[in-house]
Amino acid sequence: MTDDDRIEGIRHLFTADTDHEPGEDNVERLGFDVHPYVFFISGFVIVAFVLLSVLFTEQADAAYEWAFESINHYFNWFYVIAANLIVAAVVYFALSRFGDIRIGGVDAEKEFSDISWLAMLFSAGMGIGLMFFSVAEPLWHFDDPLFGVESQSEAAAQMAMVVTYFHWGFHPWAIYGLVGLSLAFFMYNKGLPLTFRSVFWPVLGERIYGWPGHLIDVLTVFATLFGITTSLGLGAQQINAGLSFLGEEVLGTTIPVATPIQLVIITVITTITVVSVLVGLEKGMRRLSNLNIALILVMMALVLLIGPALFVVSLFPQALGSYLGQFFELSAFTNSFGNVPYEGWQGSWTIFYWGWWIAWSPFVGMFIARISRGRTVREFVFGVLFVPALFSFTWMATLGGTALHFELFTESTIVETVTTQGEEVAMFELFTMLPLTLVLSVLAVVLVTTFFVTSADSGSMVLGHLSSGGKHDSPRNQRVSWAIAEGAIASVLLLGGGLTALQTASITAGLPFALVLLFMAVSLKQGLEEEYQVLNSEEFDRLIEELEESGEIEVDRAGGTVVTELEPIGDREDDVQPGTD
């Protein structure tokens, strides 16, 4: 038996025992390759939702408001508990004996260097949300702080940064980390399809290919679609605000901030996305993603250099320390005593965010899973949990901190403008107080637009995977249909109630999917437990001993016991070979 045969035998020990293939029951017609249940059930409900919302706008608006209030009243405790359990779960996976398990198996090689991997996590941590809320959220909490803090005081400014860090810190990245780790493990280690039903293999077994699996994927489609459309709706509002500002400053004309303009923006961006899908601009989209990283770093550096740099640099560690000090109090806050000043606060902020992160998690999680082959569970968790969160903290301290500096130490103020005109104008109002106003404003509009396009394009790809039974390549027609659906639903939500409708979509889609994530954590634990048992089995030990005796393979063990890596002797390097990035 050759070394290759032994390694193949090792892989066979870990692979899921099933004869099913991804997309084996698919329907292939008119350029589509779809799972008959997932695609058509999802499509029917989505079309019905759009039609009913368009035909009965007033009733839809009332329904969004009712759903928003009901979920916040009856289920806020569930969101709080679920988010905290997810944080605890991913930390447990990293610190437990499972932390040494390698994604892709003991012979898996890293596809990307450590620096490139961290850079892509850094990229995934940015998006429309960071642009939309980086100035607006700290100012809202500065004006309306928690826990009896005096409004618009220095204590309110610190509390504003703490709450903003809380919403953009470890909780969202724990949610993304759980989804990414689960998808990566069951795809790379178990050889299962790239779809959410695969994550439940330890619990459901072959039933993932039946109705339980269909239901899981349908819920995932809804969560992903509404998570993406929430971001697109917010992006359209901010682009509209930016164009309005630039119209007055540059062209001397008035571009109103209004729903019809935002619908036109969504239509234009959706058209660009459809064209990019049709012509296959994969390389172009990668370049656009890299451009996003460069532009947002340029913007942050500019604001830091021409703004109150010393204040921002001092604020960052102070706000971070306060956030860590109040982490558990904020994580468990539900306003259970019905304190009137805080009534509605949690629903508009924490519950909205938790629902949004949960609904957005299939999209981000699948991206993270795709780039993480060859990492250990511990390395994966620490990288996903800390690196993007650190960037979010830095970005919020720079933009939000600059805005708070003007409120506290100058005569300039934008709080009233933000609270009366909306969050979408906050960043552009801040830029009027800084040098290079037009440069920063144009940069912001370009960034939101490119984030818009890349999110819509990538989102259609993820929805294509989900609706094709987990195939790695879905037809272009299929991706086009999802890109159009994203734009249509974002438009419908804006017509049916603006920001409230977008928030309602997130928390409504996130509610059932939060249950999916909790069961996902249980299923992942069982999968890791099975993997660990195989790593300690007699058959595995025998194959490893034969490999070691051959003298061609180097075996690494965690703590001298569990095998974590196999490498041909002489091929070990600290990084991957050039060109693999």
pLDDT at residue 575 is higher than 70: no
| Helix, strand and coil in the chain, % to nearest 5 | 75, 5, 20
* pLDDT per position as a tens digit, 150-159: 999 999 999 9
Q: How far apart (Å, rounded) are the C-alpha atoms in residues 488 and 484?
A: 6
Strands 562-568 and 553-558: antiparallel
Radius of gyration of the chain (CA): 24
For the stretch 188-225, what's the b/e string if a residue is b when 16 or more beta carbons lie within 10 angstroms of its beta carbon?
Answer: bbbebbbbbbbbbbbebeeebbeeebbbbbbbbbbbbb
Token representation of residue 302: 């500019």
Q: What pLDDT, on a 0 to 100 scale, did the predictor assign at position 552?
A: 66
With 90 as the cut, is the pLDDT of residue 308 above it?
yes
CA–CA separation, 43 vs 522, rounded Å? Answer: 30
Any residues with CB less than 8 A from the CB of 541 and at least 6 apart, and which?
Answer: none
Please name the amino acid found at residue 237: Q
- 9 contact partners, CB below 8 Å, separation of at least 6: 1, 543
Q: State CA 159 to chain mean position distance.
A: 25
Q: What is the pLDDT at residue 123?
A: 63
- Long-range contacts of 2-5, Cβ-Cβ distance < 8 Å, separation of 24 or more: 3/547, 3/550, 3/552, 3/553
Mean pLDDT in the chain? 85
pLDDT tens, residue by residue, 434-465:
999 999 999 998 888 888 887 787 788 888 88
Nearest to 226 by CA among 485, 536, 500, 37: 485
| pLDDT at residue 435, as a whole number | 93
Per-residue model confidence (pLDDT) at position 498:
65
Q: What is the pLDDT of residue 574?
A: 47
Model confidence, pTM = 0.89
State pLDDT tens for residues 17-70. 787 787 788 888 888 888 899 989 988 888 887 788 778 877 877 887 788 788
Q: Residue by residue, what is the 3-state secondary structure of 241-259?
A: HHHHHHHHHHHCCCCCCCH
- Look at residue 520 and tell me whether its pLDDT is greater than 90: yes
Which of 58-62, 366-370, 414-418, 535-539 shows the lowest mean pLDDT across its residues? 58-62
User: Do residues 360 and 510 lie in contact, with contact meaning Cβ atoms separated by under 8 Å?
Assistant: no
- Roughly how many angstroms between the first and final C-alpha of the chain, as a whole number? 34
Phi, psi (5° rounding) for residue 335?
Answer: 55, 45
Label residue 576 by pLDDT band (50, 70, 90): very low
For 557, list phi and psi in degrees, rounded to 5: -130, 140
Eight-class DSSP state of 376: B
Check whether 538 has a pLDDT greater than 50.
yes
Do 56 and 49 form a contact (C-beta atoms < 8 A)? no
The DSSP 8-state label assigned to residue 349 in this structure reads I
Least confident of 210-214, 258-262, 271-275, 309-313: 271-275
Which of 337-341, 371-375, 380-384, 503-507 has the lowest average pLDDT?
A: 337-341
pLDDT class for 560, splitting at 50, 70, 90?
Answer: low
Q: Kindly report, residue by residue over 316-348, the tens digit of the pLDDT.
A: 999 999 999 999 999 999 888 766 566 778 888
The whole-number pLDDT of residue 306 equals: 95
What is the rounded average pLDDT of the residues 278-304?
77
High-pLDDT (> 90) share of the chain, %: 33
Report the alpha-carbon distance of residue 108 to residue 440 in Å, rounded.
44
Highest mean pLDDT, choosing among 208-222, 310-324, 498-512: 310-324
The pLDDT-based confidence of 578 (bands split at 50, 70, 90) is very low
| Residue-level pLDDT at 249 | 67
Please tell me which of 21-25, 85-89, 567-571, 576-580 the model is most confident about, judged by mean pLDDT.
Answer: 85-89
**Dist. CA 62–CA 82, nearest whole Å:** 28
**Confidence category of residue 285, pLDDT binned at 50, 70, 90:** low
What is the torsion angle, in degrees rounded to the nearest 10, for the CA atoms of residue 18, residue 24, residue 25 and residue 27? 170
